[in-house]
Each structure stands twice: as structure tokens, then as C-alpha cells.
Amino acid sequence: MSLTAQSKISTWEGKIRVRFESREKGLADQHHRSLEPAYVLTIHNSQGSEFDFVIIRIVSTHDFMLQRNLLYSAVTTGKKKVNFVGQLKAVQSGIRSTRRFF
């Protein structure tokens, strides 16, 4: 699970809630034990790692970095479930992009 600085984890009566800017989402009880918060973990830093559940925040602000191979790296870190949070347009742009910077 990757959280940005704009995210906040809170607990109330044993329930875990994650707040993403203006939206709040609860985490199902069966996932509590597998929760491994990774604050500001980049896709590059997560390469070679595996997590049961991954949340990827993706926005057009970082459009110049979004590439198909980078999204592939992000998605393959998830073993059971991967969720994208952000802008569909940014995901689509990243999938279409095959440019390389090196």
C-alpha cells in the first residue's frame, strides 16, 4: 500500500480508515494483518518487491514520467489486488506512452 503526503490513516474502534484528500475509504477487517504502510514509496523504489494489496495514486501532473513500462512495474508489485486512485486520463496516457528517457 502506498500513501502520499496528502493521505492519512486513522483508526476508530479497531477499524482502519484511509483519507485521500476529500474522500475516505474503510479497509476490510480481513486485510488488517496484511497492511504494510509504505509512505511515499515510489514505483522505482518498489521494483523487485511484492505486496498483497497495492494502491497506486496517479495524476496528470506527472504525465511526463508516465510510461507503459513504469505502470507495468507498478502493477506487478501487487500479488492479489491493485487499485489505481486518481485520473483515468493519466492512466490511459501512461499506457499509450512508450518513450524512454535513457
State the chain's mean pLDDT as an integer: 74
Q: Using a cut of 0.75, tell me whether the model's pTM lies above it.
A: no
The domains of the chain, with CATH numbers, are 2-96 (3.40.50.300)
For position 83, what pLDDT does the model report? 87
Residue 20 has what pLDDT? Answer: 67
pLDDT tens for residues 26-70?
A: 766 666 666 666 666 788 878 888 888 888 888 888 777 788 888
Averaged over 82-102, what is the pLDDT?
82
Q: Supply the pLDDT for residue 59.
A: 83
Q: Single out the residue of 6, 20, 73, 80 nearest to residue 43, CA to CA.
A: 73
Chain mean position to CA 26: 16
Q: What is the distance between the alpha carbons of residues 10 and 16, in angstroms, rounded to a whole number?
A: 6
pLDDT at 6: 44
- 84's CB contacts (< 8 A; 6+ apart) are 56, 57, 58, 91
- Axis-axis angle for helices 68-75, 88-96 (nearest 10): 120
**pLDDT at residue number 95:** 87
- The confidence band for 14, taking pLDDT boundaries of 50, 70 and 90, is low
